[in-house]
Chain A
Amino acid sequence: MLSLRDQACLVGVGETRYCRAPGSGVSELELMLDAARAAIADAGLRPGDVDGIMAPIWGGSAEDFAANLGIENLRYAAQVNMGGASAVVSLQSAAMAVAFGAARAVLVPFGWNGYSGRRVRGADLAELAQEMARFESSVGSAIRDYYVPYGLASPAQWYTLFARRHIHEFGTPPEALGAIAVACRKHAQGNARAVMRGRPMTMEDYLASPWICEPYRLLDCCLETDGAAAVVVTAADRARTLAQRPVFIAGVAEGHPYPADDFVNRPDLLTIGLTFAAPVAYEMAGLGPEDADFAQIYDCFTFEVLHQLEEAGFCRRGEGAAFVQDGAIELGGRLPINTHGGLLSQAHVGGMNHVVEAVRQLRGQAGAAQVAGARVGIVTGWGDFGDGGLAVLRSDG
Chain B
Amino acid sequence: MSDAFARPLPRLAGYAAEFYAFCRRRELRFQRCSGCGRWRHVPRTLCAGCGSDAWEWARSAGTGRIHTWSVTHRPMHPAFLEVPYAVVVVELDEGPRVVTWVRDVAPAALAVGMPVAVDFEDVTDAVTLPVFRPRR
Contact = CB atoms under 8 A, between A and B. Distances in A.
A135 B95 CA distance: 27
B118 to A, nearest CB: 14
B100 A164 contact: no
Interface string B77-90: 11110001101010
A154 B99 CA distance: 14
B112 interface: yes
B8 A132 contact: yes
Given A123-B78, A150-B129, A164 B10 contact: no
Interface in B60-84: 67-80, 84
Contact of B76 (A146, A149, A157, A265): A157
B96 A161 contact: no
Interface in A194-230: 210-215
B99 A146 contact: yes
A154 B77 contact: yes
Residues of A in contact with B, size category? 35 or more
Given A125-B4, A151-B87, A213 B99 contact: no
Contact of B69 (A132, A149, A161, A265): A161
A128 interface: yes
A213 to B, nearest CB: 5
Chain B interface mostly: loop
Contacts of A175: none
A262 interface: yes
A264 B98 contact: yes
Contacts, number: 117
A162 B112 CA distance: 12
Contacts of A141: 11, 16
A226 B41 CA distance: 38
A161 B70 contact: yes
A283 interface: no
A211 B74 CA distance: 7
B11 A150 contact: no
Given A144-B8, A148-B8, A150-B129, A264 B74 contact: no
Given A149-B129, A151-B85, A213 B10 contact: no
Interface string A148-177: 111111101100111111001000000000
A326 interface: no
A212 B71 CA distance: 8
A145 B99 contact: no
A169 to B, nearest CB: 9
B123 interface: yes
B70 A157 contact: yes
A212 B73 CA distance: 5
A216 to B, nearest CB: 8
A261 B67 CA distance: 18
B77 A214 contact: no
Contact of A153 (B67, B76, B107): B76
Contact of B73 (A147, A150, A210): A210
B7 interface: yes
A142 B78 CA distance: 20
B68 A168 contact: yes
Given A149-B8, A157-B76, A213-B76, A164 B70 contact: yes
B101 interface: yes
A237 interface: no
Nearest to B107: A214
Contact of B72 (A125, A148, A149, A213): A213
Given A161-B68, A161-B69, A168-B68, A264 B77 contact: no
Q: 8 nearest interchain CB pairs?
A: A160-B70, A151-B80, A211-B73, A214-B71, A145-B10, A154-B76, A153-B77, A145-B16
27 contacts: A120-B77, A125-B4, A128-B5, A141-B11, A145-B10, A145-B11, A145-B16, A146-B16, A146-B42, A146-B99, A151-B76, A153-B8, A153-B77, A153-B80, A156-B76, A157-B72, A160-B71, A165-B68, A165-B112, A213-B72, A213-B76, A214-B70, A214-B107, A261-B42, A264-B89, A265-B40, A265-B97
Given A146-B99, A269-B68, 5 more contacts: A151-B77, A211-B74, A213-B71, A214-B84, A261-B42
Interface of A: 120-121, 123-125, 128, 132, 141-142, 144-154, 156-157, 160-165, 168, 210-215, 261-262, 264-265, 269
